[in-house]
Amino acid sequence: MKKNYVIEAENLSKIYAGVVPVKAVDEVNLQIQDNEFTAIVGPSGSGKSTLLNMIGGLDRPTSGTIKVNDILLNGMTDNQLINFRLHHIGFVFQSFNLIPVLTAKENAEFIMLLQKVPLQQREKRVMSLLKEVGLDDKLDSRPSQLSGGQQQRVAVARALASKPDFVLADEPTANLDSKSAFNLLDIMARLNQEEGITFIFSTHDQRVIDRARRVITLEDGKIVSDEIR
């Protein structure tokens, strides 16, 4: 019986043009099932962020195909990709990417505004999410009033607000101290285990790698190991 994959990449490659072309991702074949807690790891320049960006429709492959829940991303226009990301993929970035003039509550619900979710539904979901990440007492705080760990928890709430098929987290702990990093990982692991949310990390942080249930290692754009724990 054919397995259902939330993400399926086939012969995926990305070449950056230049005087000497760089093959950042080299014919990668990858399948991710629902409810995974997976880390894509490797040294700087191994292609892990490029692979994550192609999975998320932020970067287009030079060759190969990428499907999300059997929907082919190749060939989509820029506007179609924007709309697809809005409704299907959550993102958590290393630099938080919160909007400085908005409160924690407004940042977390921003995606739902773009989705045109009715006010009452937005209010209910954002309150639930911020409580889930331990920030229900920081609703009216702006990013400058929050610690790095708190800002990243707002970013996680924002990523989940759209009810995505999965969350892509690119070096989410890189700018956090150890306590904040462990707190964030505890939250994401609990969301994965209790609510079945799929997380895919790009990371070189051993703290993330230790928590992952699957570790995919890249070197020079190729998968060199794929360990299920």
The CATH number of residue 43's host domain is 3.40.50.300
Q: SS3 for the chain, per residue? A: CCCCCCEEEEEEEEEECCCCCEEEEEEEEEEECCCCEEEEECCCCCCHHHHHHHHCCCCCCCEEEEEECCEECCCCCHHHHHHHHHHHEEEECCCCCCCCCCCHHHHHHHHHHHCCCCHHHHHHHHHHHHHHCCCCCCCCCCHHHCCHHHHHHHHHHHHHHCCCCEEEEECCCCCCCHHHHHHHHHHHHHHHHHHCCCEEEEECCHHHHHHCCEEEEEECCEEEEEEEC
Asked whether residue 84 is domain-assigned, the answer is yes
Q: What is the pLDDT of residues 13-24, one digit of tens each?
A: 999 988 889 899
Q: What is the pLDDT of residues 37-95, one digit of tens each?
A: 999 999 988 999 999 999 999 999 999 999 999 999 998 999 999 999 999 999 998 88
pTM, rounded to two decimals: 0.93
2 in a structural domain: no
- Number of domains comprising the chain: 1
> Whole domain around residue 183: which residue ranges?
7-228
